[in-house]
Structure 1
Amino acid sequence: MSHPNDLFCQNWSTSDFRPRERFDAWQAALNDSHLSWTLQKNQKTGFSANLQVSKLSDLQVVRCMCQPCSGYRKSREIAAGRLAYYGLLLIYKGKEEVATGSRTALLGPGNILLWDSTEPIHFKLHSPVHKITVLVPQNRMHDALPQAHRLIGKAMDWRHGLGAVAASHITALCSQASHINHLQAHPAAETTLELIATSLGSQQAQAGETARAEFIDRIKNHIESNLDDLELGPQTLAERFNISIRYLHLLFSNEDRTISRWILERRLERCRRDLVVTGPHKNITETALAWGFNDGAHFSRVFKKRYKVSPREYRLSKTR
């Protein structure tokens, strides 16, 4: 890797090597900048790549432009590393497939992915790519974003909002790296890490909202399937989903009704439907008991409060 005058920015290119030496030289350069990798060339002849490594305090920003290839980090490559890093991969051009843990992501321009240097990973470039990887020591990332590990292997979109701001910052950082001196390296690293953590945090919050909504749907589906259970209520739901009653109520705090109210209204709706479908021959109290009410008088009161008429009056009005 060639070293220009600025210690904080180094550049490398396959054009400095004979054609048959280029891929092996590329693997050596990649290992020097991206930790240890084992690579495979996708094409039999010809290969070209360019690399820029900018060192800002304990962060490394690596800009890479190369032709299609693939590679992996397994136990041997992982063991060769001395420090644990998170790699923030940002794609500017081309397509890259990344598999880590149980997740496989296909990334295109504007997509990012966070990977863990201590976990196996496999990548494949489907076309020539232009990408930037920011290597952040894991202890630094944990200080800035304690739940960062939850985003590992997840493709995220940084084409809009704060993600686009972070992507633009990283692009500018690469283009201006050779003009950053040793007095500016540490504040530049701090600013970069804070912006990355804030952008990832917003992605995590969105993911958390999606997970929360999915969890609430699971609870609602369970309620719908068990309305005839006299014991159905906050206590049994909390036990069924292995959460506290307080957390159960917190989940429904942004809904338009409480968990108890949700159960009551779903039971009332089932009863209302049955009063019409079964006609005048089925006993109203039997209908109420069939859907989890344990008292006919109580059912009549809450039904009238909800539908403005008694169960009997409602059934007569519909059957006529």
Structure 2
Amino acid sequence: MELTWSTEGLAPEDQFAYWADVVCEACAPLAPVRTRQHLTRSRWGEGLTGWVRAERLADSTPTEVVSCTQRLTHGPAEVRRGRDEQIFVNLQLDGTGRGEQDGRRCVVPPGSFAVFDTTRPYVLEFDESPDGSPWRVLSFKIPRDQMLALIPQPALRTARTIDARTGAGAVAADMMTSVWRSRAQLSAASRLALDHACTEVIATALGAFEKEGGDRSSVDDALRASIARFVHERLPHGQVLAVEAARHVGISVRKLHQLYDGHETTFGATVRDLRLQRAARSLETGGPQVTVTDVANRWGFCDASHFTRAFKARYGISPTAYRESSSATVPPAPAR
């Protein structure tokens, strides 16, 4: 369920307290401040205008924040008030962001992002766009332990600008924005799968940044792994289409097929092999009452003869012989 907060309709003197409650509830404990310098750089000369939209995926929570020029401080007192340990990935959409944590400072223009750790103090400062429109940030709140399971803490450098226009950063940013735009159409299963996939891709982008300019192959490996996991989860529910897998990882169908160029397999072969693995397992556990035709239909093969040909090409024996084997274990795949 989407949650929305806005200072619209509040008197300027009431907006600060409400905004502090909003960002605390939606993001993390933060103390907002608008100094004289902030007011002179702002279209809004008083109060604190802004709105927030947030919607939980599974473990992470994407949040869109729109507001006026200001500083937000997560100091020692705010660290103590924090209920959870989180990593924030802040993608700047409009305006300019600045951040400071762990002795580092960064400037985040539109099309870039930076990460911040709620277990230690940090400061964020945002300026409106040059045309006077509000700044806008898409922030993903990810459980800290999940991120640290994917990327070691020494490599999780906070307050560093990562360009989201090219390379690994672009893949992460595209996926974040795609998930946010599509959230209303996502099923519970899709939310869970995309939650994990998005965290993995962000972690890959952070790791690629450590390698000075990024490692394209590592990003592609992460995307293929996310696609394979999606196929595993989707297979029991029916046919898996390329367009569904592409949407799952936030890329085009053309890009999905390009991921397998020069690789040892294709997307279609990946789906077929996973279907055959599931079918082999069904033959092992289904009992004599489950026919080869039943298994073929269960795992999306058009008929028993097609299934038999594909199974024999993959495992070297027919489905019937496989089931009748006293040691019904899946033999290794033949060399390609």
Q: Give SS of 1:163's match.
A: helix
Q: Give SS of 2:55's match.
A: strand
134 and 115 in structure 1: CA distance in 2 versus 1, 3 angstrom threshold: same
* Aligned match of 1:30: 23
AA of the residue aligned to 1:164: A
* Aligned match of 1:262: none
State the distance in 2 between where 1:122 and 1:149 align: 20
Deviates more, 1:37-46 or 1:156-165: 37-46
State the distance in 1 between where 2:48 and 2:105 align: 26
State the distance in 2 between where 1:152 and 1:207 align: 17
2:113–2:164 CA contact under 8 A, matched in 1 = yes
* Aligned match of 1:227: none
Deviates more, 1:170-179 or 1:82-91: 170-179
State the distance in 1 between where 2:31 and 2:47 align: 19
Give aligned-pair identity as a percent: 20
* Aligned match of 1:135: 141
TM-score by length of 1: 0.59
Q: Give SS of 1:56's match.
A: coil
State the distance in 2 between where 1:102 and 1:207 align: 23
Task: Report the RMSD for the aligned CA atoms in angstroms.
Answer: 2.1
116 and 59 in structure 1: CA distance in 2 versus 1, 3 angstrom threshold: same
- Aligned partner of 1:165 among 171, 186, 210: 171
Query: 1:219-277, CA deviations, whole angstroms, 9 ceiling, x for partnerless residues?
Result: xxxxxxxxxxxxxxxxxxxxxxxxxxxxxxxxxxxxxxxxxxxxxxxxxxxxxxxxxxx
- The reply to whether residue 62 of structure 1 matches residue 63 of structure 2 is yes
1:68–1:126 CA contact under 8 A, matched in 2 = yes
Q: Give SS of 2:120's match.
A: coil
1:51–1:63 CA contact under 8 A, matched in 2 = yes
Is the radius of gyration larger for structure 1 or structure 2?
1
In terms of fraction of residues, the more helix-rich structure is 1
* Aligned match of 1:195: 201
183 and 120 in structure 1: CA distance in 2 versus 1, 3 angstrom threshold: same
Q: CA deviation at 1:19?
A: 4.0
1:52–1:64 CA contact under 8 A, matched in 2 = yes
Q: CA deviation at 1:150?
A: 3.9
* Aligned match of 1:105: 106
2:93–2:111 CA contact under 8 A, matched in 1 = yes
* Aligned match of 2:150: 144
AA of the residue aligned to 1:35: A
149 and 143 in structure 1: CA distance in 2 versus 1, 3 angstrom threshold: same
Return 5+ residue gaps in structure 1 as ranges. Answer: 1-6, 210-320
State the distance in 2 between where 1:148 and 1:167 align: 23
Query: 1:92-149, CA deviations, whole angstroms, 9 ceiling, x for partnerless residues?
Result: 1111121112111111111211111111111211223111111111110011222465
Q: Give SS of 2:178's match.
A: helix
State the distance in 1 between where 2:141 and 2:164 align: 18
Q: Give SS of 1:159's match.
A: coil
TM-score by length of 2: 0.56
AA of the residue aligned to 2:145: N
State the distance in 2 between where 1:63 and 1:119 align: 23
State the distance in 1 between where 2:94 and 2:84 align: 29
Query: 1:183-234, CA deviations, whole angstroms, 9 ceiling, x for partnerless residues?
Result: 332112011111111111211222799xxxxxxxxxxxxxxxxxxxxxxxxx
207 and 148 in structure 1: CA distance in 2 versus 1, 3 angstrom threshold: farther
* Aligned match of 1:53: 54
* Aligned match of 2:281: none
1:142–1:148 CA contact under 8 A, matched in 2 = no
For these two proteins, the number of residue pairs brought into alignment is: 202
State the distance in 1 between where 2:12 and 2:30 align: 21
- Aligned partner of 2:159 among 153, 157, 180: 153
State the distance in 1 between where 2:21 and 2:184 align: 23
AA of the residue aligned to 1:68: T
Query: 1:156-208, CA deviations, whole angstroms, 9 ceiling, x for partnerless residues?
Result: 21111231122121112222223334333211201111111111121122279
159 and 102 in structure 1: CA distance in 2 versus 1, 3 angstrom threshold: same
State the distance in 2 between where 1:172 and 1:189 align: 12
